[in-house]
Amino acid sequence: MIEFYKMDDFLKLELPQIPSLLGDNLIVPEGRVIIYGSPGTFKSFATMHLCWALAGSDEWLGYEVHANIPTLYLQAEIVPKMMQARGLKVKSNFRDNENLHYAYIRDFILSGQKAWEEEVEVVEKTQAKFIFFDPMSNIMAGSELDDAAVRNFLHNLDRITVKTGAGVGLVHHSRKESFNRDGSTNFTGAEDLRGHSSINGWADTIIRLRRPRTVAGVIEMTWEKVRHNEEPTDKWLRFDNESGILKLSESDPILLVSELLRDGPKSRAVVDEMLTKQAGLGERRAINTRMSLEEKNVIEMYKDPVDKRRTMVRMKED
pLDDT in tens, 134-175: 999 999 999 999 999 999 999 999 999 999 999 999 999 998
Q: Higher confidence at residue 176 or residue 106?
A: 106
What average pLDDT does this structure show over 206-216?
87
What average pLDDT does this structure show over 1-7?
93
Instruction: Say if residue 61 is in the same domain as residue 114.
Output: yes
Instruction: Say if residue 156 is in the same domain as residue 36.
Output: yes
Could you tell me which residues are beta bridge partners of residue 64? 59
Instruction: Say if residue 193 is in the same domain as residue 311.
Output: no
pLDDT at residue 184 greater than cutoff 70: no
pLDDT recorded at residue 135 = 96
Q: What are phi and psi of 110, to 5 degrees?
A: -85, 80
In whole angstroms, what is the distance from residue 61 CA to residue 78 CA?
A: 23
- Domain of residue 88, residue span: 19-248
Q: Higher confidence at residue 126 or residue 188?
A: 126
Phi-psi region for residue 113, left (φ > 0), alpha (ψ -120 to 50) or beta? Answer: alpha
The answer to whether residue 213 is domain-embedded is: yes
Mind listing the pLDDT tens digit for each residue in 77-112?
Answer: 999 999 999 999 988 888 888 999 999 999 999 999
Could you tell me which residues are beta bridge partners of residue 314? 300
Q: Higher confidence at residue 231 or residue 120?
A: 120
Q: What are phi and psi of 187, to 5 degrees?
A: -135, 160
For 102-235, where are the alpha helices, taking DSSP H only? 113-126, 136-139, 147-164, 197-202
Instruction: Say if residue 102 is in the same domain as residue 27.
Output: yes
Mind listing the pLDDT tens digit for each residue in 39-73?
Answer: 999 999 999 999 999 999 999 999 999 999 999 99
- Looking from the CA of 39 toward its CB, the CA atoms found within 13 Å total 1
pLDDT recorded at residue 233 = 87
pLDDT recorded at residue 181 = 54
- Of the candidates 253, 194, 193, 244, the one whose C-alpha atom is nearest the C-alpha of residue 218 is 253
Q: Higher confidence at residue 191 or residue 310?
A: 310
Confirm if 170 and 133 have CB atoms less than 8 A apart. yes
- Of the candidates 215, 272, 212, the one whose C-alpha atom is nearest the C-alpha of residue 41 is 212
* H or E segment to which residue 48 belongs: helix 43-56
pLDDT recorded at residue 295 = 86
Instruction: Say if residue 52 is in the same domain as residue 100.
Output: yes
pTM: 0.84
Instruction: Say if residue 123 is in the same domain as residue 102.
Output: yes
End of a domain among 248, 264, 292?
248
pLDDT recorded at residue 185 = 54
pLDDT recorded at residue 213 = 78
* Cα–Cα separations (whole angstroms), residue 219 to 39, 130, 208: 12, 25, 10
Place 221 in a pLDDT band, splitting at 50, 70 and 90. Answer: very high
In whole angstroms, what is the distance from residue 37 CA to residue 43 CA?
A: 7
The answer to whether residue 304 is domain-embedded is: yes
- Of the candidates 142, 144, 105, the one whose C-alpha atom is nearest the C-alpha of residue 123 is 105
In whole angstroms, what is the distance from residue 22 CA to residue 247 CA?
A: 17
In whole angstroms, what is the distance from residue 106 CA to residue 109 CA?
A: 9
Mind listing the pLDDT tens digit for each residue in 247-304?
Answer: 988 888 888 898 899 889 989 999 999 888 887 778 888 898 888 888 888 899 999 8
pLDDT recorded at residue 97 = 87
How many domains does one find in the chain?
Answer: 2
Instruction: Say if residue 211 is in the same domain as residue 284.
Output: no
Instruction: Say if residue 206 is in the same domain as residue 286.
Output: no
